[in-house]
């Protein structure tokens, strides 16, 4: 395989690298929030699951229980599935070079 064929697209990993400094600050802030009794919440609209009476999810603010990593990925618009795919491609290319 020539050099052009070995070129690997790592756009999501590059986004992660570029957001690394800000991610550290935001992670410290999120930790501080949880340690001080705050929570990250998301608005949920009233949702009907079926036509049966009482089959509703309530409307209001509800805690969002994502990992710090997923919360930051959402904020920086990073697709974690693509990150994992890119990591595997990168590791495979390293193994092939040995």
What is the model's pTM? 0.70
Q: Provide the token pair at 91.
A: 């590791």
pLDDT in tens, the chain (98 residues): 444 445 678 899 999 999 999 999 999 999 999 999 999 998 888 877 666 666 667 888 888 888 889 999 999 999 999 999 999 999 998 888 87
CB atoms within 10 A of CB 21: 9
Query: What 3-state DSSP class applies to 72?
Result: helix
- Cα separation, 21 vs 73, whole angstroms: 14
Q: Determine contact, residues 67/75, Cβ cutoff 8 Å.
A: no
Provide the residue ranges of all domains of the chain, joining segments of one domain with +: 18-78
Distance CA 16, CA 86 (A): 12
Which pLDDT score is estimated for 21? 95
Whole-Å CA distances, 90 to 7, 23, 48, 61, 95: 10, 23, 45, 41, 9
The predicted structure's pLDDT at residue 9: 80
């Amino acid at each position: 395989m020539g050099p052009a064929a070995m070129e690997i697209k790592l756009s999501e990993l590059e986004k992660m690298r570029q957001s690394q400094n800000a991610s550290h600050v935001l992670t410290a802030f999120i930790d501080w929030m949880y340690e001080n009794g705050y929570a990250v919440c998301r608005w949920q609209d009233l949702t009907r699951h079926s036509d049966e009476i009482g089959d509703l999810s309530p409307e209001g603010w509800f805690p969002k229980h994502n990992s710090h990593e997923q919360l930051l990925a959402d904020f920086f618009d990073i697709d974690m599935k693509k990150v994992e795919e890119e990591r595997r491609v990168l590791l495979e290319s390293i193994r092939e070079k040995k």
